[in-house]
Amino acid sequence: MDMQRIPAQKGKYNLQDYDKMRETFSWEDAKKHFSWNETGKVNIAYEAVDRHAQNPKLKDKVALYYSSPDREEQLTFEQISKKSNQFANVLKKHDVQKGDRVFLFLPRSPEFYISFFGIIKTGAIAGPLFEAFMEQAVRDRLQDSEAKVLITTPDLLERVPQKDLPELKKIILIENHNETADKYIDYKEEMESASSDFDIEWVDLEDGMLIHYTSGSTGKPKGVYHVHNIMIQQYITAEWVLDLKDDDVYWCTADPGWVTGTSYGIFGPWLKGVSNVVRGGRFSPEAWYDTIEKYNVSVWYTAPTALRKLVSAGEDVVKRFDLSSLRHVMSVGEPLNPEVITWGLEALNHRIHDTWWMTETGAHIIVNFPSQEIRPGSMGKPIPGIEASIVDNEGNELPPNQMGNLAIKEGWPAMMRKIWNNPGKFESYFVNGWYLSGDSAYRDEDGYFWFQGRLDDVINTSGERVGPFEVESKLLEHPAVAEAGVIGKPHPERGEIIKAFISLNEGYEDASELLEDIRQFVKTGLSAHAAPRELEVTDAIPKTRSGKIMRRLLKSRELGLPTGDTSTLEK
């Protein structure tokens, strides 16, 4: 494997000497950056917002540059602090207590960021929902978390099946509406009369703060539970990996419905007191380049799926914009193609730094640092303080260049603390002291990690994680569908697309209108990103004798690969 290597960059990076830092760093050192180190009292909202609002040098600094096609707004640290105080008072008035789940089902907007911190200030647990979720996806998450309060818009409220959500006591509507029942709270009205002083709830580092639902290969989405302690690793990685400096303008393109959008779209930059750009509205190459130019974005964190679209948009589009403010670019969520890195060098004049982590890890684990050589196709090296390895299924470490399960030694600060409402599940991720990621990878002799694929059936489409079970379950609800098996099929731009194999109930014919109806059924019932782009009718879905769908077999057949061991196939 004689890949082109991109030399280490020269410059004053926050992490200059990786090897030395690996030797000397301990997580205890990281704690000195926080005020709770002296007081013993913590709240991540204080560290990310209020602390800066109380600092004469930072209080008037723009924390949030918000822009969408129809709205533009800037909020300083002091403004976010006060407004989130007001919102915390609104929540208190409606009986929100420490540990309650308060969910946000909102488009990317300033209100999201204000209410998010309001929730955390009360000691409650925030649960962001991706705005593209449809009824089934919303129901699963609100039911499982037993959310007590939901913050949403009148439009999105239509997708909230309230009759199935007995625990949901209050709904806060951030836009004009016609609801009159006691259950509904008008955001604007209550914010106006709420005080901007609030006694923040001081909590323990191990107290809960955030739940992100994510998909596995089986069962309903799982609530990954994170605690205030996550901030230690978010802070350190914002320093080393995002390489943030006081004057930076930072833009993370991820939606706060996913973990990248909270850990690095909110906490990373704000724990460091750095200005954060949030863009609402749809993707277009012009709008994205324009965002960089308009705000003088210096540090940019995005995803391969978007980068691939920028590549196909062509170099003349890039050339129309002044991107000279950029100094550091990163990517996450899917394998970063070496061709995209090459494009970055030519079109952006920047190295694109791949980073690897997961909802469950809470923060960066394996990354490319600006001060190190990049080996295109490799995710880089574990951050100091983290031990990562390649292990077999029993948790034994494997030698270099051997493929196995990408694993992390348990006990890193940002690690999830449990799976919500699913006792025992958490332990199942760990073997012999190692957290098994479910990704297959190998490590070369120099310690660089190389991603190979998923070991389970989880699908990664345009950087979004989709569980085949969820899609299959939705398909089965359609009257025409008898059986369904769902796989990820490789796709040049989206990484993978969702392909569903279905068999039809008697009386239904394989016709394009029916297939389109089934596709729409998933799209409008579950979510657009989970709707199969390809649907194929087949007589029988291969299953094991115990009735499990053999997705691997469907996939090998689809890709024309050897089908392997089919001895458990139901005859």
**Which positions touch ligand WT7 (CB under 6 A)?**
214, 259-260, 332-335, 354-359, 379, 437-439, 451, 454, 460, 465
Q: Which is nearer to ligand WT7, 118 or 269 (CB)?
A: 269
Shortest CB 173 distance to ligand WT7, Å: 29
CA angle (408 as vertex; 402, 410 as ends), nearest 5: 145
Cα 281 from chain centroid?
18
Q: Which is nearer to ligand WT7, 116 or 449 (CB)?
A: 449
Hey, what are 294's tokens? 């308009």
* Residue 253 vs 460, nearer CB to ligand WT7: 460
Q: How far apart, in whole angstroms, are the C-alpha atoms of residue 102 and residue 97? A: 10
Q: How near is the Cβ of 254 to ligand WT7 at its closest, in Å? A: 8
- Nearest to 5, CA basis, from 354, 304, 450, 341: 341
Task: For the CB of residue 133, give the shortest distance to ligand WT7 in the complex, in Å.
Answer: 14
Answer whether 402's CB lies under 8 Å from 391's CB.
no
CB 175 within 8 A of CB 184: no
In the complex, least distance from residue 464 CB atom to ligand WT7, rounded to whole angstroms? 7
CB of 58 to ligand WT7, least distance (A): 28
- E strand map for 413-506: 418-419, 430-431, 434-443, 449-454, 459-461, 464-466, 481-491, 495-504
Which residue type does 428 have? S
Task: Please name the residue that has the structure tokens 């040049």.
Answer: 492
At its nearest, how many Å lie between ligand WT7 and the CB of residue 447?
A: 16
CA dist., res. 146 & res. 495, Å (int): 34
> Nearest residue by C-beta to ligand WT7?
359
CB nearer to ligand WT7: pick between 207 and 360? 360
Q: Of 145 and 331, which has the nearer Cβ to ligand WT7?
A: 331
Instruction: Answer whether 440's CB lies under 8 Å from 393's CB.
Output: no
Task: Report the helix count and the strand count for the chain, using DSSP H and E.
Answer: 20, 27
To ligand WT7, the closest distance from the beta carbon of 474 in angstroms equals 19
- Minimum distance between the CB of residue 496 and ligand WT7, rounded to whole angstroms? 10
CA dihedral sign, ordered 360, 361, 366, 367: positive
Which phi-psi region, left, alpha or beta, contains residue 533 (left: φ > 0; alpha: ψ -120 to 50)? alpha
Q: Residue 92 or residue 529: which is nearer to ligand WT7 going by CB?
A: 529
Q: Is 278 exposed, middle or buried (0-12, 13-18, 19+ CB in 10 A)?
A: buried
HEC letters along 93-107: HCCCCCCCEEEEECC
CB of 382 vs ligand WT7, minimal distance in Å:
13
The smaller minimum CB distance to ligand WT7, of residues 260 and 372, is found at 260
Closest approach, Cβ 297 to ligand WT7, in A, equals: 20
Residues 6+ apart with CB under 8 A from 446: none
Q: Check: CB of residue 417 under 8 Å from CB of residue 211.
A: no
Question: 271 or 455, CB closer to ligand WT7?
Answer: 455
What is the sign of the dihedral through the CA atoms of 37, 38, 39 and 40? positive
Kindly state the smallest distance separating residue 78's Cβ from ligand WT7, in Å.
Answer: 31
Residue among 172 and 329 whose Cβ is closer to ligand WT7: 329
> Cβ closer to ligand WT7: 370 or 542?
370
Instruction: Compute the distance between CA of residue 46 and CA of residue 205 in angstroms, rounded to an integer.
Output: 13
The residue (of 48 and 358) whose beta carbon lies closer to ligand WT7 is: 358
